[in-house]
Structure 1
Amino acid sequence: MKKLNLFWILFFVSMATFGNVYVDHLELRSNPPDEFTTLVEFLEGKVDFIKGDFPIIAAEEVKKNLKNDTYHIIDIRSDSWFEYGHIKNAVNVPAEDLLNYFKSEIVPADFEKIILICYSGQSAAYYSGLLRIAGYDNVYSMKWGMSSWREDFADAWLKNTKSSFEDKLETTLNTKPASGTPPQINTGKSEGKEILDDRLQKLFAVPYNNFILNSEDIFEKPGDYFIVNYGKTDDYNLGHIPGAILYNEGSSLLSDTDLLTLPKDKKVALYTTTGQEAAYLIAYLNVLGFDTGNIAYGENSFMNDLLKKNGRDAFSSKQINLFPVIE
Structure 2
Amino acid sequence: MKKLKYFLMLFFLSVGSFANTYTSYVPAGIDPPDEFTTLVEFLEGKVDFLKGDFPIISGDEVKNNLRNDGFHIIDIRTDSWFEYGHIKNAVNVPAEELLTYFQTKINPSDYEKIVLVCYSGQSAGYYSGLLRIAGYDNVYSMKWGMSTWREDFAETWLKNIKPSLEDKLETSLNSKADPTTHPEINTGKAGGEEILQTRLQELFAIPYSDFILKPVDVFESPQAYYTLYYGKTDDYTKGHVPGAILYEDGNSLQFNNDLLSLPKDKKIAIYTTTGQKAAYLTAYLNVLGYDAGNIAYGENGFMNNLLKKHGRDAFSTKEINMFPVIE
> Normalising to structure 2: TM-score of the pair?
0.92
Between the aligned residues of both structures, percent identity stands at: 72
Segments of 4+ in structure 1 off by > 6 A? Answer: none
How far does residue 23 in structure 1 lie from its aligned partner after superposition?
A: 5.6
Q: Does 1:288 align with 2:291?
A: no
Query: Match of 2:68, SS?
Result: coil
Query: Match of 1:254, SS?
Result: coil
> Partner amino acid for 1:27?
V
How far does residue 315 in structure 1 lie from its aligned partner after superposition?
A: 0.3
How far does residue 31 in structure 1 lie from its aligned partner after superposition?
A: 4.0
Query: Match of 1:188, SS?
Result: coil
1:207 paired residue number? 207
Distance 1:157 1:127 in 2: 19
Q: Does 1:120 align with 2:120?
A: yes
1:24-49 CA distance string (max 9 Å, x none)? 98328x94201100000000100000
Distance 1:294 1:151 in 2: 25
2:138 paired residue number? 138
1:47-66 alignment, distance < 5 Å: 47-66=47-66
1:198-240 CA distance string (max 9 Å, x none)? 0000000000000000001111111111100110001101100
1:10 paired residue number? none
1:258 paired residue number? 258
1:164-313 alignment, distance < 5 Å: 164-313=164-313
Shift in alpha-carbon separation, 1:221–1:206, aligned structure 2, 3 A: same
Query: Match of 1:27, SS?
Result: coil
Distance 2:128 2:237 in 1: 30
Query: Match of 2:294, SS?
Result: strand
Q: Does 1:157 align with 2:157?
A: yes
> RMSD of the alignment, in Å?
1.4
1:6 paired residue number? none
Distance 2:206 2:91 in 1: 21
1:219-277 CA distance string (max 9 Å, x none)? 11111111001100011011001100001111110111110100000000000000000
Q: Does 1:81 align with 2:81?
A: yes
Distance 2:275 2:96 in 1: 21
1:314 paired residue number? 314
> Partner amino acid for 2:56?
I
> Partner amino acid for 2:196?
L
Distance 1:251 1:34 in 2: 25
Structure 1: 5+ residue stretches without partners: 1-18
Distance 1:158 1:223 in 2: 30
> Partner amino acid for 1:39?
L
How far does residue 84 in structure 1 lie from its aligned partner after superposition?
A: 0.2
Query: Match of 1:140, SS?
Result: strand
> Partner amino acid for 1:224?
A
1:265-290 CA distance string (max 9 Å, x none)? 00000000000000000000000000
> Partner amino acid for 2:59?
A
How far does residue 50 in structure 1 lie from its aligned partner after superposition?
A: 1.0
2:25 paired residue number? 26
Query: Match of 2:86, SS?
Result: coil
1:69 paired residue number? 69
In the alignment of these two chains, the number of paired residues is 306
Structure 2: 5+ residue stretches without partners: 1-17
2:42 paired residue number? 42
Distance 1:201 1:193 in 2: 12
Query: Match of 1:72, SS?
Result: strand
Distance 2:52 2:37 in 1: 22
Query: Match of 1:269, SS?
Result: strand
1:114-144 CA distance string (max 9 Å, x none)? 0000000000000000000000000000000
